Chains A and B, each alone.
Chain A
Amino acid sequence: MKGCIFNIDAGYLEGLCRGFKCGILKQSDYLNLVQCETLEDLKLHLQGTDYGTFLANEPSPLSVSTIDDKLREKLVIEFQHLRNHSVEPLSTFLDFITYSYMIDNIILLITGTLHQRPISELIPKCHPLGSFEQMEAIHVAATPAELYNAVLVDTPLAPFFVDCISEQDLDEMNIEIIRNTLYKAYLEAFYDFCKQIGGTTADVMCEILAFEADRRAIIITINSFGTELSKDDRAKLYPRCGKLNPDGLAALARADDYEQVKAVAEYYAEYSALFEGAGNNVGDKTLEDKFFEHEVSLNVHAFLQQFHFGVFYSYLKLKEQECRNIVWISECVAQKHRAKIDNYIPIF
């Protein structure tokens, strides 16, 4: 039934989004890109794709950072076009997507100010999708409580932040905990929101978000080995909307080393496959890459169904992966380091 009336509000945007998706580079494009000798070659090839003339007005010689900026700018323009034309509940959904960038920006700024960097140097590094009005004044805050009271209380992130209000000074450890707590709250809220929308959107998005939550839980666990983070604190950071919840998370909370994490993953078919294929030797793919690959396949699957919001999320994520790929290839080309040039993650 939802499908019948979906097109009234979101049909145009879904069509637009699927059109954008067709512009995502194919395997054959990547094969051409990795053959490039210089960044100019890369530019010439990208001109033949949907990117068109996005680099035409850049004076030579190109740098990787300009390519990165332009790729991101194009993506942001597309996303904002979608956002500006959307109505409820799609607009809230799209806003939810931007919150994760906001979290990243906040953490970036706080870490930067902690290291005495001037704020004007940090601002250009922030993701434009996650910028908000009070962002640049973030350095007035010295404690999480202040951060909440002065800066975040007016932003949509405020409800996520409630769990991390404390009077402790902001230090590296604290910031990491804030980031993860924020993410946990954000993922759970987003998960609930998608559930509430229901229908195909819930089916598709909950799958993707559950994976995202589990990935975070596993990564947090692996990264916490050898740090001061206590097991109880660690357990508090796990997002509780994944498939690992509750048994897997309880097992992860008890884990002491990588092997134990792997043993936990053994119980879950899809994750054990990821751990199987991962390794740190030369030629092996890292666990992180494996996770990325799995994410890409989930996002590609989102396009198999119609009449749901998942395509917007998936498009953004796929496009981001593509930007990472192109930047990776450009870096390899620019630094003449071709041995690892094939380590990009193909999408189609």
Chain B
Amino acid sequence: MGAMFRSEEMALCQLFIQPEAAYTSVSELGEAGSVQFRDLNPDVNAFQRKFVNEVRRCDEMERKLRYIEAEVHKDGVHIPAVKEAPRAPNPREIIDLEAHLEKTENEILELSHNAVNLKQNYLELTELRHVLEKTEAFFTAQEEIGMDSLTKSLISDETGQQAATRGRLGFVAGVVQRERVPAFERMLWRISRGNVFLRRAELDKPLEDPATGNEIYKTVFVAFFQGEQLKSRIKKVCTGFHASLYPCPPSNTERQDMVKGVRTRLEDLNMVLNQTRDHRQRVLASVAKELTSWTIMVRKMKAIYHTLNLFNMDVTKKCLIGECWVPTADLPNVQKALADGSNACGSSIPSFLNCIETDEEPPTFNRTNKFTRGFQNLIDAYGVASYRECNPALYTIITFPFLFAVMFGDLGHGCIMAMFGGWMVVKEVSLAAKKSNNEIWNIFFAGRYIILLMGCFSMYTGLVYNDIFSKSLNIFGSSWHIPYDNHTLAENGALTLDPKDAYTEVPYFIGIDPIWQSADNKIIFLNSYKMKLSIIFGVIHMIFGVCMSVVNYNFFKRRYSIFLEFLPQIVFLALLFLYMVFMMFFKWIAYSTKNDELAYTQGCAPSVLILFINMMLFSKNVPEEGCKEFMFDAQSDIQRVFVFIALLCIPVMLLGKPLYLLATKKNNPKPEHSNGSVNQGIELQEQTDLGDVQPKPEAKSSGGHDHEDEPFSEIMIHQAIHTIEYVLSTISHTASYLRLWALSLAHAELSEVLWNMVLTFGLKDHNYVGAIKLYVAFCFWALFTLAILVMMEGLSAFLHTLRLHWVEFMSKFYAGLGYIFQPFCFKTILEQEENKDD
């Protein structure tokens, strides 16, 4: 755990790699994932960088892969997952892979091209068949009319003439998309001024669009018209509306023959189609096996070339120069990766790794494991720690679940939460493998260890509060007994238990005595207890936070701050608020019913709050008769001294540091600056050795040194703000810890209400109806317990705990001005790409 106390030490390194070994070396570094590269060509455009052609090749390959993947998905072929991600291919393999992809793409392209052609044929034939079949009905109907009119012609000459003209009517038959029919019909009517007769019938089954595979609904139509000119115009309209026209012989027998012919051709075509589909399936299935590993390989390649683009070329073009941050602990790994990289390509000259000194603030890197990661994330969400600042995440592991539990104290609810967390921890591996897109679930899963600990701690505090689903457990037997006889008990509804007679003097073994569960003044008692508890925890937590700042001052060589900032702060806090805590304990110990002295019996116990307020305001309270105003004799004088010293601390906090800095500045002007320029001189020398390495961007000086450059007025203003904030915050933060009590009270009350209002309803009846009622009531009770008491209350307690840590605890020592270490790592890159795809 020592490693977690501070972020790791980082070194800025220069890499000198042979151009031929660069690719393999970076590949090795990517597998190792412990190096963060810096961009050495920030002014160069994306398309003017060195390896832009390779990146483009990768893009092209990715495009092909996307195409192949889309085709595989279209046919519903399953893509198997790979067990182990393949390594980035070496340059020779890249060419093979490229050729292979090219071949596969062309093959699939050709296959789909053929399939589209075949389907197009099939579509046309099906349409023709439908046209022939559907028009059959029109023609027969017409012929019947014709027959009618023929018979009628015996009677009337007029109709006979009509029948004769019908023979000269031309027609076109075809298929048009259903949604375009109304416009089509209207247009035909318009261009012919109403001289076109259109019959149509809808196709019931949708047809398949050969190119996209979508379903399309079509309508068969036959347009009857007169004259050649009209025919050409109708045909123009048909092409305009994408209607496909089909030849349709006018006589019945010819149509019958044609239908037969079309049917046989359709069957043949169907066979061919099935064969091509099978072939396509086989090809795609074989491709699908390789697809994932190809994708991973190409992505790794692309990442490598992107990284190489950050490198700088030596003037002599003999080596590539890169700069990177490396955790010093990982330096051997990096060396090994570089050596492996050089060996892999058979380069005779090894790569060099050269640590350089810098003024720049290195990135913050906390090595975490699956347990600590959740807690570290809580801290990082507030602000990434400055480089090598002490890391509150370490203490958060315990304080976070503990403060949560103080608010969430209930044995039953804690147990549910612990079981949920425990289940996630036990099933960790299989749950992690199932990648879920559900954001809420992912949050829960990422915080599984926090949830488990929060659950366990809540069980403990639940035991202390003696609270399980708002009821108490009487495990060790109450230490109170009832001094009344049965007669008195039967007569009175409520009786007072005087601790003098009823208390056995041996406290209940752990936590609150279960007898309080049945007391009328339970809430009053618990409120006083929990309020004091919150203040005690709060003051201890804050004092701990202030003490943590010593560690930082010590580490960053600002010893003067220990005396000028830490000491007045801690004295101020201790003399006022720790003293209040002391009064609480004193009150608990000194006052008792069994005391003989009247001034120390329960009736005379003074309010701690009033005492504290009077202490601050130097005012007096008139005590009740027989009681004393103060708890002990010299208290009044001690308090006066305490307040006086505490007030004296404020000017020290305000003026101490600025004056000290002013004094030291005058004594030795600019000591730091010369130091910095010496550093730069060394760097420059190195750079001239190497040729034209770009001068590094002007380094920002680290947080510890920046006071030296600031003008006095600014330091003064900062210090004034800081002092005012601290003094006010001691009061407001102490009050803020009362949320521990408030939430705990709310939680207890809510669960009690739920029990009394819902579950009691089912427990009242003792017959069979009661069983059913209980069944229903329990459902509701369990549901509300989970949804409101565990989920909602848990969330709110979580947020309040988070606030107590971020604001009340961390503000005492934590700067959080760092930036996070983002190593070049294939694993994270692949994960990111995958998330993007989803």
Contact = CB atoms under 8 A, between A and B. Distances in A.
B180 A44 contact: no
Interface string A41-67: 100110010000000111110000000
Interface stretch (A136-144, A250-258, A263-271, A275-283): A136-144
A139 to B, nearest CB: 6
A48 B63 contact: no
B236 A140 contact: yes
Contacts of B233: 140
B265 interface: no
B47 A45 contact: yes
Interface string B223-262: 0000000000100110111100000000000000000000
A137 B45 contact: no
Given A40-B56, A44-B56, A150-B187, A136 B239 contact: yes
A120 B242 CA distance: 10
Nearest to A136: B240
Interface string B725-745: 000000000000000000000
B66 A48 contact: no
Interface in A86-145: 119-120, 133-140
Nearest to A58: B63
Nearest to A37: B47
B177 to A, nearest CB: 11
Contact of A60 (B47, B60, B236): B60
Contacts of B239: 119-120, 136-137
B63 A45 contact: no
B190 interface: yes
B753 interface: no
A116 to B, nearest CB: 14
B52 interface: yes
Given A41-B47, A140-B233, A149 B190 contact: yes
Leading 6 A-B pairs by shortest Cβ distance: A137-B240, A136-B240, A41-B47, A44-B47, A137-B237, A150-B190
A185 interface: no
B302 to A, nearest CB: 13
B45 A35 contact: yes
A154 interface: yes
Nearest to A138: B240
B47 A140 contact: no
B349 interface: no
A32 interface: yes
9 contacts: A44-B46, A44-B47, A48-B46, A56-B59, A56-B66, A58-B63, A134-B187, A137-B241, A150-B190
Interface in B53-69: 55-56, 59-60, 62-63, 66-67
Interface residues of B, number: 26
Given A37-B47, A137-B236, A137-B241, 19 more contacts: A35-B45, A35-B48, A44-B47, A44-B55, A45-B45, A56-B62, A57-B66, A57-B67, A58-B63, A60-B56, A133-B241, A134-B187, A135-B240, A136-B239, A136-B242, A139-B236, A140-B236, A150-B187, A150-B191
A89 B603 CA distance: 78
Contacts, number: 67
B317 interface: no
Contacts of A151: 187
B236 A59 contact: no
Contacts of B56: 40, 44, 60
Nearest to A153: B190
> B48, B187, B236, B240 — which one has the most chain A CB atoms within 10 A of its CB?
B240
B64 to A, nearest CB: 9
A315 B191 CA distance: 39
Nearest to A135: B240
A36 interface: yes
B186 interface: yes
B663 interface: no
Nearest to A133: B183
Interface string B166-194: 00000000000000100100110011000
B66 A119 contact: no
A133 B239 CA distance: 12
Interface in B244-301: none
Chain B interface secondary structure, helix, strand, loop or mixed? Answer: helix
Contacts of A139: 236, 240
A27 to B, nearest CB: 15
A138 B46 CA distance: 48
B46 to A, nearest CB: 6
B196 to A, nearest CB: 12
B531 to A, nearest CB: 48
B29 to A, nearest CB: 25
Given A44-B56, A134-B183, A154-B186, A140 B63 contact: no
Given A133-B180, A140-B233, A59 B46 contact: no
A100 to B, nearest CB: 22
Nearest to A137: B240
A138 B66 CA distance: 40
Contact of B237 (A48, A59, A140): A140
Contacts of A137: 187, 236-237, 239-241
Contacts of A154: 183, 186-187
A135 B237 CA distance: 10
A153 B191 CA distance: 12
Contacts of A59: 60, 63
Interface string A10-21: 000000000000
Interface string A174-186: 0000000000000
A297 B215 CA distance: 47
A133 B67 CA distance: 32
A140 B45 contact: no
Contacts of A44: 46-47, 52, 55-56
Given A134-B240, A140-B236, A56 B63 contact: yes
A60 B60 CA distance: 8
Contacts of B190: 149-150, 153
A133 B66 CA distance: 34
Contacts of B59: 56
Nearest to A56: B63
Nearest to B67: A57
Interface string B29-57: 00000000000000001111000100110
Given A59-B63, A149-B190, A151-B187, A119 B240 contact: yes
Contacts of B236: 137, 139-140
Given A45-B45, A57-B66, A136 B183 contact: no
Contacts of B67: 57
B805 to A, nearest CB: 37
A119 B241 CA distance: 12
A146 B236 CA distance: 14
Nearest to B235: A140
B12 to A, nearest CB: 28
Contacts of B186: 154
A45 B45 CA distance: 8
A154 B187 CA distance: 9
With most chain A CB atoms within 10 A of its CB, the pick from B66, B67, B187 is B187
A146 B67 CA distance: 47
Nearest to B57: A60
A151 B59 CA distance: 47
Contacts of A150: 187, 190-191
Given A44-B56, A119-B240, A134-B183, A32 B63 contact: no
Contacts of A149: 190
Contact of A136 (B47, B60, B241): B241
A45 B237 contact: no
A40 B66 CA distance: 19
A119 B60 CA distance: 35
A215 to B, nearest CB: 34
Contacts of A146: 191
Contacts of B52: 44
Nearest to A113: B236
A265 B241 CA distance: 47
Contacts of A140: 191, 233, 236-237, 240
